[in-house]
Amino acid sequence: MKRLLVVDDDPDILDSLTMLLETRYAVTPAEDGTLALELMGQQSFDAVVLDLMMPVLDGTRVLQEMRQRGNPTPVILISAHRDLEKQEVRHQQLGAFASLRKPFSIQELEKRLEEALHPGAGAL
């Protein structure tokens, strides 16, 4: 079973995503970027679902830190931010696999996860 790290500071979204995804994946939830980086230092994940807008350590900084540490894990960014498209080029440069605007369907997230977990199936 593929291992996912799901990171979101909103407990309702974190719980919902964990519940919906754990039927197909081994899901580890994290409520902030600091914990996410700590978990990535302790274990490996096949993909990361990462919220952009979080206090203390936002998703962009987590993604930057992952890449600086040489962590190539595919990252799917999620955000309710209206200007997500404006940030997309920067996130692609940092190696983000995809970006989804909240609210998104679980089917869209699962599609992106499948693409990320099976290279050659598609990208941004």
Domains of the chain, residue spans:
3-117
Distance CA 102, CA 6 (A): 15
Distance from C-alpha of 54 to C-alpha of 50, rounded to nearest angstrom: 10
Using one digit for the tens of pLDDT, what is the confidence trace for 78-103?
A: 998 777 677 787 888 889 999 999 99
Q: Are 46 and 20 in contact (CB under 8 A)?
A: no
The SS3 of residue 73 is coil
Cα–Cα distance measured from residue 2 to residue 27, given in angstroms and rounded to the nearest whole number: 9
Averaged pLDDT score across all residues of the chain = 92
Instruction: Give how far Cα 83 sits from Cα of 20, 26, 41, 56, Å.
Output: 27, 31, 31, 20
| Residue 64 confidence class, pLDDT cut points 50, 70, 90 | very high
Instruction: Tell me the CATH class for 3-117.
Output: alpha beta
Give the predicted TM-score (pTM) of the model. 0.92
